[in-house]
Amino acid sequence: MRVGVLTGGGDCPGLNAVIRGAVRKGVQEYAYEFVGYRDGWRGPLENDTVPLGIPAVRGILPRGGTILGSSRTNPLKAENGIRRIKDNLAKAEVDALIVIGGEDTLGVAARLHDEYGVNCVGVPKTIDNDLSATDYTFGFDTAVGIATEAIDRLHTTAESHMRVLVVEVMGRHAGWIALHSGLAGGANVILIPEQRFDVSQVCEWVTSRFRATYAPIVVVAEGAAPQDGDAVLKDGSLDSFGHVRLSGVGEWLANEIERRTGKEARTTVLGHVQRGGTPSAFDRWLATRFGLHAIDAVRDGDFGRMVALKGTDIVRVPIAEATAKLKTVDPELYAEVGVFFG
């Protein structure tokens, strides 16, 4: 059996741990051979491969990023994309593909399997934790840890200058990172994409939290938007790689707070720091288990399925179940946190 492995979409701490788990078990227990595909779906599309075996996965457990590289290439949009992938897999004598990715990458895997008979097993990945059908994705815990540490640090500088500090965290469609890091870091206001915010209300909360020696922290997810300010925040323009640009809700909000409350405000945009570097112990644990279970799914011929965390068990679900609908923050959960505002 020859197994191809690819990592697609935004990088995420724990990708290397998945690769290592699958390769080690595949080689040592099942005597499988592996082929690494470079840069997500671009690899099988262009037959760009790298050797993948025990030597390649040695020492990569604590390393961030992905040894295979990543991209957001979508073969369904490429000319003869499906045919080229099928031909290239046949040429490389690859019998099955382990596809590690988020909504877009896995969406392609689901279609390749369901409509074109390619043997794919999916592994869910995103720091945003917004994939359905799994309780958690690896990378999320690391991102929350990084954001929480940043918030802790910002508390002391906010207090020293009596400034409002607005911290913009990742989360284009879902506010999981904002919610978890905001709660863990003792933020005074948390704003998420799932619920439009009222700027006047935010300013009231900010004003009411000022004490003689305390200045508030506002955590805002990059995809959050004010009730009436859509056009201000998202112009929908694409960068040169075709990705939608998000235009700085944190900076916009800090300016509004300063203008409306008269309190000095600053913004920190955490950006890709949240995706880089070594994975947390939890993410290494989860990613390794995903890798071990993914190779077992290959052994069982259980294709079109994705490994997922349910409670403490790793289960298999149809890949399409994970990509059909994003997992967003439940309004009740968000309301629960609101007790700390104001």
Q: Which of residues 170-189 bind ligand F6P (CB under 6 A)?
A: 170-172
Q: Which helix (DSSP H) or strand (DSSP E) does residue 314 occupy?
A: strand 313-318
Q: Is 256 one of the annotated binding-site residues?
A: no
198 is catalytic: no
Q: Is 273 one of the annotated binding-site residues?
A: yes
Catalytic residue among 128, 130, 283, 296: 128
- ∠ CA 42-48-54, rounded to 5°: 115
Interface stretch with ligand F6P, choices 25-33, 124-132, 145-153, 299-307 (CB under 6 A): 124-132
CB of 135 to ligand F6P, least distance (A): 18
CB of 276 to ligand F6P, least distance (A): 11
Tell me which amino acid residue 146 is: I
Cα separation, 158 vs 187, in Å, equals 12
Q: Is 156 one of the annotated binding-site residues?
A: no
Taking CA atoms, 128 is separated from 154, 171, 265, in Å, by: 22, 6, 27
The residue within the footprint of ligand F6P, chosen from 17, 127, 167, 225 (CB under 6 A), is 127
Q: Does 194 bind ligand F6P (CB under 6 A)?
A: no
CB of 147 to ligand F6P, least distance (A): 11
Tell me which amino acid residue 15 is: L
CB 177 within 8 Å of CB 129: yes
Q: How, if at all, do strands 189-191 and 96-101 pair?
A: unpaired
Phi, psi of 153 (to 5 degrees): -70, -35
Nearer to ligand F6P, 23 or 131 (CB): 131
Tell me the three state secondary structure of residue 204.
helix
Nearer to ligand F6P, 261 or 278 (CB): 278
How many residues would you count in the chain? 342
Nearer to ligand F6P, 130 or 256 (CB): 130
Is the CA virtual torsion 48, 51, 52, 58 positive or negative?
negative
Q: Is 274 one of the annotated binding-site residues?
A: yes
Per the annotation, where are the binding residues for substrate?
126-128, 163, 170-172, 222, 266, 272-275
List the catalytic residues: 128
Residues that bind ligand F6P (CB under 6 A): 10, 102, 126-128, 170-172, 222, 243, 275
Task: Extract the annotated binding site.
Answer: 10, 103, 126-128, 163, 170-172, 222, 266, 272-275
